Amino acid sequence: MKISREQMAENRERILEVASRLFREKGFEAVGVAEVMKAVGLTHGSFYGHFSSKDELIVQALAHALGQRNGASLPLGAYMEEYLSPRHRDNRAGGCPISGLAADTLRQTPEARAAVTEGVRAQIDWMSEKVEGPDADRRRRAIANWSAMVGATILARVIVDPALSKEILTETLAWIDDGADRPASAPAKAE
């Protein structure tokens, strides 16, 4: 039975949503095409009507997850608070694909890394528009804040000590907040 273009598009969207969640939760290597298709409720064979390979699915799932930019509608301060919260830390499947998949993406195709590059670029651009301070400092602050947020989330997720995990999130947010009130220092000169 032939399905409509609308149904094909709907199925593809569901595959991308499920795959991106499973990849964030378990990692790329731990998730197979059959698991994704079963979770969507479609046959394994129908996968190839949407994607040519698992590598293509990874690229498209990354682009899909990064394009959602969950929380980007919030004011910057609220976004940072949400990002550096225990709730976000504990929600690997629904959380940020950068903090969830950066290390795994290092071992993926150049196309997967390009999708992440575009997602990071978009995030930095968005934060650069929202962060306060002189124009010359805004991009640097956005990069530093975003890097601290991602790094803190990765560390907080890997640590088994709940108090230390929460402290990493809390102190990173406090460090970012402290930096909002002072001018960025000049970059160090190369010797």
pLDDT at 184 (0 to 100): 47
Percent of the chain surpassing pLDDT 90: 83
Answer whether residue 163 is part of any domain: yes
Answer whether residue 185 is part of any domain: no
Answer whether residue 191 is part of any domain: no
**Which CATH number do you get for residue 102?**
1.10.357.10
Domain count, the chain: 1
Q: Which of 67, 55, 69, 79 is nearest to 149 (CA)?
A: 79
Q: What is the pLDDT of residues 54-78, one digit of tens each?
A: 999 999 999 999 988 767 788 999 9
Determine the structural domain holding residue 9 and report its residue range. Answer: 5-179
Answer whether residue 189 is part of any domain: no
pLDDT at 70 (0 to 100): 66
Answer whether residue 184 is part of any domain: no
Answer whether residue 190 is part of any domain: no
Tens digit of pLDDT at every position of the chain (191 positions): 678 899 999 999 999 999 999 999 999 999 999 999 999 999 999 999 999 999 999 999 999 999 887 677 889 999 999 999 999 999 999 999 999 999 999 999 999 999 999 999 999 999 999 998 888 899 999 999 999 999 999 999 999 999 999 999 999 999 999 875 544 444 444 44
